[in-house]
């Protein structure tokens, strides 16, 4: 039985959470700043960034797989809910509060949970920053796929890795919730002192 120390009391757990969060957020904001060197115009949607979607031919990143073309999404995922920036800001803040709560409730040995939460935090903060500063999310990556025409960013990638990782961890890994009995070695039967 592993000692049940909460993650917020473990330096290792904090490290597993903060490293992906800080590195992911830094990478996301750096790519966004490079992709939109002049910022985002007030009413920008398609015509912004280095190679605006619909205006400039996209640059190839990985032939037949991934291309670079910039746009600003004023909605949520897949462009849903254009213009509801304040709602998305509120939802992002709620999501961050839930992430902190899940981290605090987790245990030091649940390393996959901490990494997944770090990735989700990086993605949530990256898109939260964009919505707060630019009133829309800066996107620049697009697959060569006729069935998937959406343009996305690194924050979206981090979310699409972190969320399924966390869900898979909860669905397929059974935690032993048996409490440790004081004074008895792990695995030994607990004797009833009344007998």
Q: What is the pLDDT of residue 183?
A: 44
Tokens of 174: 């059974």
Task: Return the residue matching tokens 């213009």.
Answer: 83
59 is catalytic: no
Q: What is the pLDDT of residue 182?
A: 45
175 is catalytic: no
Q: Which is catalytic among the residues 59, 156, 176, 177?
A: 156
Side by side, the strands of the sheet bearing 59-62 are 59-62, 66-73, 137-143, 151-152
Question: How far, in Å, CA of 33 to CA of 25, rounded?
Answer: 12
The residue-averaged pLDDT of 81-98 equals 77
pLDDT band at residue 173 under the 50/70/90 scheme: confident
**Does the structure show a pLDDT above 60 at 193?**
no
**What are the domain boundaries of the chain?**
7-172
pLDDT digits (tens, 9 = 90+) for 56-80: 889 999 999 999 999 998 766 555 5
Q: Which is catalytic among the residues 139, 175, 176, 177?
A: 139
């Amino acid at each position: 039985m592993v000692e049940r120390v909460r993650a917020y009391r473990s330096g290792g757990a904090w490290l597993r959470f903060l490293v992906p969060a800080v590195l992911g957020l830094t990478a996301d904001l750096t790519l966004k700043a490079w992709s939109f060197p002049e910022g985002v115009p007030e009413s920008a949607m398609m015509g912004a960034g280095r190679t605006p979607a619909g205006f400039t031919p996209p640059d190839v990143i990985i032939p037949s797989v991934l291309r670079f073309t910039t746009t600003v999404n004023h909605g949520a995922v897949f462009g849903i809910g254009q213009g509801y920036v304040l709602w998305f800001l509120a939802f992002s803040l709620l999501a961050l509060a839930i992430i902190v709560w899940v981290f605090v409730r987790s245990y030091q040995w649940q390393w996959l949970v901490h990494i997944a939460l770090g990735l989700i935090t990086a993605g949530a903060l990256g898109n939260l920053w964009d919505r707060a500063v630019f009133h829309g999310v800066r996107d620049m990556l697009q697959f060569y796929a006729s069935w998937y025409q959406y343009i996305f960013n690194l924050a979206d990638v981090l979310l699409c890795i972190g969320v399924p990782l966390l869900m898979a961890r909860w669905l397929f890994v059974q935690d032993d919730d048996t409490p440790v009995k004081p004074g008895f070695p792990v695995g030994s039967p607990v004797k009833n002192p009344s007998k």
